[in-house]
Amino acid sequence: MAVIRDVMPAFDLLQPTSAADAQRLLEDIGDGAWIMAGGLDSFDWLKDRIKKPQALVDLSGIEELRGVRVASDGLEIGAMTTLTEITNHPEIKKSYSVLAEAVSVVASPQIRNQATLGGNVSQDVRCWYYRGGWPCYRAGGNICYADTPVGRNREHAIFGANRCVAVHPSDSVPALVALDAKFVVKGAKGERVIDAEDYFIGPELDITHINILQPGDLLTTIRIPNTYAGAKFYFEKIRDRNVWDFPLLNVASAIKLSGNNIDDIRIAVNAVSPRPMRLRNVEAAVKGKPATSETGEMAGKLAVQGAVPLQFNAYKIPLMRNLVKRAIAGVQEATWA
């Protein structure tokens, strides 16, 4: 177990003032660099003495990474924009309210004042064995402590397990996937733009990483096209305590209706798999159908096909079935401001 009384291991603190300088520093230092945004996830790792980077690249002095820019074809949100700014932003509240709503239930007001969108989507899994410094698969070892007969796995995955059964914990991500957001990454070879759902990787591809970023990469911006601006939205998060807590499960949908019929839809869930899940099978099955509880019922059943519960998390199957149902049938009534 980690010793948490001792001081943090020493590191170099680098404070660039432009995204280009930050990227160059990341490239020069390579594997030994740690990107620090708001520090909510970063400081846990450092103070618990589990991650010991050579240098911290602190993004807090880079103005160009902050703020929301409204354009004719959508929004550009700088990676260093705080969750509070996103929740309060008039255009996000008006036209992309699913994101404002999702972000408004992250953690606590104090955390949202400091935490950034780039950090929220890039945060690591919350599995307590891994966070406690146990040498599991994700930490580079040869065992999963959560997936054993006595493992504590109530919060863990029902889909996508591959040695690691931890889940992706972000609340903002399903909303971003539902809005068809694009992540802009600055790297050694220039800039690349990645669909939100492709930013994340599962343990079958790389068990020690949660996203596609390579040493030298920096997430600079999240773009939201106006394709779903003003659509019907639904977001719901289930957690153990309503004061602040990570999701046991969350769902986000963006739906275009003709009358009560579903013309187009994007729907995603999180906290059920090591990477966020876009439910393409549900999207295909409900297009052209009315947004009713019958359609929602059918969608919920489809969504949980193939789920494999662990010893203590079978409750997530009916939970996911019902949330998906509500994300379709409840879309007419959903209001958030």
Ligand X SMILES: Cc1cc2nc3c(=O)[nH]c(=O)nc-3n(C[C@H](O)[C@H](O)[C@H](O)COP(=O)(O)OP(=O)(O)OC[C@H]3O[C@@H](n4cnc5c(N)ncnc54)[C@H](O)[C@@H]3O)c2cc1C
Q: Which residues bind ligand X (CB under 6 A)?
A: 34-42, 59, 79, 106-107, 111, 115-116, 118-120, 122-124, 169-171, 213, 218-219, 244-246
> Residue 38: which of ligand X, ligand SF4, none does it interact with, CB under 5 to 8 A by kind?
ligand X
Distance of CA 176 to the CA centre of its chain: 8
List all residues 6 or more positions away from 100 whose beta carbon is below 8 Å from its beta carbon. Answer: 86, 87, 88, 89, 92, 93, 336
Question: In the complex, what is the shortest distance from the CB of residue 314 to ligand X, in angstroms, rounded to a whole number?
Answer: 23
CB nearer ligand X, residue 104 or residue 253: 104
Of 122 and 153, nearer to ligand X (C-beta) is: 122
Angle between helices 316-329 and 293-303 (to 10 degrees): 140
Q: Supply the minimum distance, in Å, between the C-beta of residue 249 and ligand SF4.
A: 17
Cβ nearer to ligand X, comparing 175 with 255: 175
Choose the stretch contacting ligand SF4; rule: CB under 6 A; options: 81-89, 164-172, 300-308, 309-317.
Answer: 164-172
Query: From CA 73, how far away is CA 229, in angstroms rounded?
Result: 10
The rounded distance, in Å, linking the Cα atoms of 105 and 244 is: 8
Q: Taking contact as CB under 6 A, which single stretch among the options 90-98, 121-129, 193-201, 306-314 is the one that binds ligand SF4?
A: 121-129
Cβ 34 to ligand X shortest distance, Å: 6
Interface with ligand SF4 includes 272 (CB under 6 A)? Answer: no
Binding at 118: pick from ligand SF4, ligand X, none (beta carbon under 5-8 Å per type): ligand X
Q: Does 137 bind ligand SF4 (CB under 6 A)?
A: yes
The residue number with the shortest CB distance to ligand X is 119
Look-up: residue for tokens 């275009």? 256
Q: Which does 275 bind (CB under 5 to 8 A by kind): ligand SF4, ligand X, none?
A: none
The residues, any chain, with a CB within 8 Å of residue 309's CB and separated by 6 or more, are 158, 316, 317
Kindly give, in sequence order, each residue whose CB lies less than 8 Å from that of residue 154, ignoring residues fewer than 6 positions away.
312, 313
Q: Return the number of other C-beta atoms located less than 10 Å from residue 24's C-beta.
A: 17
- Least separation in angstroms between residue 139's CB and ligand SF4 is 6
Q: How many CB atoms lie within 10 A of CB 30?
A: 11
Residue 275 binds ligand SF4, judged by CB under 6 A: no
Could you tell which of ligand X, ligand SF4, none binds residue 41, using a CB distance below 5 to 8 A set by kind? ligand X
Judged by DSSP in three states, 325 sits in: helix
| Range 218-247, binding ligand SF4 (CB under 6 A) | none
For residue 223, what are the CA distances in angstroms to 176, 228, 317? 9, 13, 32
Least distance CB 164 / ligand SF4 (angstroms): 3
Q: How many angstroms separate the CA atoms of 68 and 89, rounded?
A: 8
Applying CB under 6 A, which residues contact ligand SF4? 125, 127, 129-130, 136-138, 144-147, 156, 164-166
